[in-house]
Copies of this chain bind each other. A is one copy, B any other.
Amino acid sequence: MIHIAIVDDKANNRKIITDKISGNRFFSISFQAVDGADFLEQMAGLLPAAQPDIVLMDLEMPEIDGVTAIATASALYPAVKFVVLTIFDDDDKIFKAIKAGACGYLLKEESGAVIADMLLSLWEGGAGPISPSIAYKILQMVQKPAVDITSDAATNLFMLTEREKEILQLLSQGLEYKEIGQQIFISPNTVKKHCINIYQKLHVNSKAQALRIAYKKGLL
C-alpha cells in the first residue's frame, strides 16, 4: 500500500485528485493539506512510520508555495518522494521545483490511470513521473542551461536576510551563540534571536535541521 499526501489550496482540486487515485487499490490517502505551511506542520507532527510515501504538491498556494515546501521538506524527510501536480507548465517553476527536490512533475489534465501508473512506477524504483509536455521543456532547459540556479533556488528561496545568512554561515562552523557574538560584535542574545527567526523562516526548530537544509540546498 502506497501512502499519498495531497497538498492543494482548493478543496475542489483535492477532491478531484482524491477521486482519481483512490480508485486504485494500491493507494491510500495519508493526509491532505491546504498549503505549504499546513503541510509542513502536519509532517512535523507525524511519526516517521506514519509519513507518506509520495506527496502530490500543487505549486500555486498561499502562505508557502509548493517550491519552498518541497525545498524544506525534501531536506527534512529524505525518504519521501515529492511530485508536482499542477495545471500550468511554466518553465521557471518546473526548474525551481526540480532544483528544490521534486522527483516528478505531472499536469492535472492527465487521466487518473496515467497518474496512477506513473506513481506506481516511481514507487517501484522507476523513473520519476513526468508528463510528456513537461519532459520536452526539461530537455530544452538541459540543452541551454541559462538559468541562474544559485540566485533562484538558494539565495532567495527562504527569504533570509543578509545578517541571517551570515549567522547561518557561522552556525555551520559549529560556533555557539557567544562565539558568534564575539565574531561579529553583537550580543549572544541577538545571535539567538536571529537563529530563532531563521528557524521560523525555514520551518524547522533546531540547529541541526537548519544546517541540513542549508547544506542540501547549497546555501553553504
Q: Are A172 and B212 in contact (CB under 8 A)?
A: yes
B208, A174: Cβ atoms under 8 Å? Answer: yes
Contacts A/B (CB < 8 Å), 27 sampled: A48-B183, A76-B173, A76-B174, A78-B173, A171-B208, A172-B208, A172-B212, A173-B208, A173-B209, A173-B212, A174-B204, A174-B206, A174-B208, A174-B209, A174-B210, A174-B212, A175-B208, A176-B206, A207-B207, A207-B208, A208-B208, A208-B211, A211-B211, A211-B212, A211-B215, A215-B215, A215-B220
Count of chain A residues with Cβ under 8 Å from any Cβ of B? Answer: 20
CA of A209 to CA of B212 in the docked complex: distance in angstroms? 12
When C-beta atoms are compared, the residue in chain B nearest to A214 turns out to be B215
Chain B nearest CB from A102 CB (Å) reads 19
Q: What is the CB-to-nearest-CB distance from A194 to chain B, in angstroms, rounded to a whole number?
A: 15
A→B interface (CB under 8 Å):
48, 76, 78, 171-176, 183, 204, 206-212, 215, 220
CB distance from A48 to the nearest CB of B (A): 7
